[in-house]
Structure 1
């Protein structure tokens, strides 16, 4: 298993690394790397009508980028030394286009850990998500912005049969098989409308405790209902399929999963299905 953690913000880096440690603890022996991409161009000057930065502005940009890289490197080094059990996790720095470089690195990983984005983030955070989720088609673990004592011990699967969920479950399978308890949250329009997931029986045969949490959908946000059931189940990881949207920020702040990602307090493991062009 190959794991990649992308550090792009000082304030979220500890939570991203904690999520990486949680994966390592659940999966056992695994290769892990930490990646930071330093942008080579100031995102404030990416379009022709915004002009070019003068020497002072360019110097400020380079100083900001360098300072952030130094701080993130220090955070990563301290985490590597403190994490128990000790993990030999490599630190990798790249300079250039964030989306391209993250996509390239994520393509070689089984799971890529990213921080939860927010509307206030700079363009590089959204570009990292787009590179990993859409360009690389990687399984992405979205780290929560709070401490979690465990990750994947009691995962919750938002069960809605789809190709994207199949892809997410493929990445999550080693975690589910090592879990102590797995809950399948199933929203229905009528009682027992959705058959029991075959995966539940497979996990049960392997000795994993499995629970089917069915509920009737109401007129409110489906994502919020799933979140509440996941939290009620004591979940420490939510596995769900990613909706097919052209841009991550649209998907995050204006798409069907807006409530899950904007208000979710769980780590989220998801994967995107590339569009099929005919």
Structure 2
């Protein structure tokens, strides 16, 4: 984990998710890039005068200039937290597109959840999760969590999303003192068509230097999210690893029940990958 990207929801303060990302980067000796996105104002009434259009452009330019002026402040702040390699990026454009393109150059994206800005709600964070293409740690901004990684809970049901999330989280799992594997069941409707041997997940983790304690989870889909958070709480986990289940086609942003519940109610950061 060498390159970490964090979303800067504003250009005036350093949010809890930014502090979490800086602590994570310092632990791994990774580079930290913060990105501020200035979304353009595109909805202008057809009868709007050119003066209004010019005023919108002027306001946008001022916001971008002010954001660019924070680069030195951010770099000094990150260095003070032990992150020597860092940068401050400012992008004008759509949030989803900006994160998808910038994320291509990074191993991990850190997002704030339940904060004070428009892109910290569950639906908005979900749009980024389902389209950015990189693993994400979603940090509850109302909790001020520490990047400890002493105890990690891993939600496992054999689906592709949970496999990708667990594999991406291996650098964190290797550092944890305790790893709890929350083992659920998933019946693949395509199993009769495509028969792929399912590896032993515990053996796989041991092979990668991760020893686990297994907890079976026998609950329906409607209760899975609450049950996952309950087990993570019992294990005193400071991070929950799980797949992000959902669809991101056209204008449809739909999460599965467990994913949505975790984002709505998690008191700890959640490592997710779609």
Q: Secondary structure of 2:248's match? A: coil
Pairwise CA RMSD: 3.8
**Distance in 2 (alpha carbons) for counterparts of 1:150 and 1:263:** 19
What is the DSSP-based 3-state SS (H/G/I as helix, E as strand, rest coil) of the residue aligned with 1:156?
A: strand
Shift of 1:10: 6.2
- State the distance in 2 between where 1:258 and 1:128 align: 11
* 2:101 matches 1:100: no
Are residue 4 (structure 1) and residue 5 (structure 2) matched?
yes
**How far, CA to CA, are the matches of 1:54 and 1:97 in structure 2?**
21
Mark the CA change 1:220 to 1:71 in structure 2 (over 3 Å): closer, same or farther.
farther
Task: Select the residue among 150, 157, 160 that pairs with 2:157.
Answer: 160
- What is the aligned residue count? 259
Mark the runs of 5 or more structure 1 residues left unpaired by the alignment: 190-195, 273-278
Structure 2: 5+ residue runs without aligned partners? 187-197
Q: In the alignment, what sits opposite 1:76?
A: 74
Q: Does 1:217 align with 2:213?
A: no
Describe the superposition over 1:115-167 as per-residue Cα deviations: whole angstroms up to 9, x where unpaired.
Answer: 1157972699977763x534441111112222223342211101111111111
1:240 aligned counterpart, secondary structure: strand
Aligned equivalent of 1:16? 17
Look up the match of 1:142: 138
| Alignment CA distance shift 1:54-1:69 (3 Å) | same
Q: 1:92 to 1:170 in 2, by over 3 A?
A: same
CA contact (8 A) 1:153 1:180 kept: yes
Length-normalised TM-score, structure 1: 0.75
Between 1:156-165 and 1:203-212, the stretch displaced more is 203-212
Seen in structure 2, the aligned counterparts of structure 1 residues 116 and 246 have a Cα distance that, compared at 3 Å, is: same
1:33-66 deviation per Cα after TM superposition (whole angstroms, max 9, x unaligned): 1111222x22xx5376796782686278438835
In 1, are the aligned partners of 2:153 and 2:181 still within 8 Å (CA)? yes
Q: State the shift of 1:256 in Å.
A: 4.5
Cα deviation code 1:184-233 (max 9, x no counterpart):
113469xxxxxx98343344466644211224326852101111111221
Aligned to 1:267: 269
Deviations 1:2-45 (A, max 9, x none): 2111112469842122221342244x232321111222x22xx5
In the superposition, the TM-score normalised over structure 2's length comes to 0.76
Residue 247 (structure 2) aligned to one of 245, 254, 264: 245
Other-structure match for 2:194: none
Structure 1 range deviating more: 199-208 or 30-39: 199-208
3-state SS of 2:176 partner: coil
User: Do the aligned residues in 2 keep the contact of 1:102 with 1:128 (CA within 8 Å)?
Assistant: no
Counterpart-to-counterpart distance in 2, 1:159 and 1:221: 15
What residue number does 1:109 align with? 106
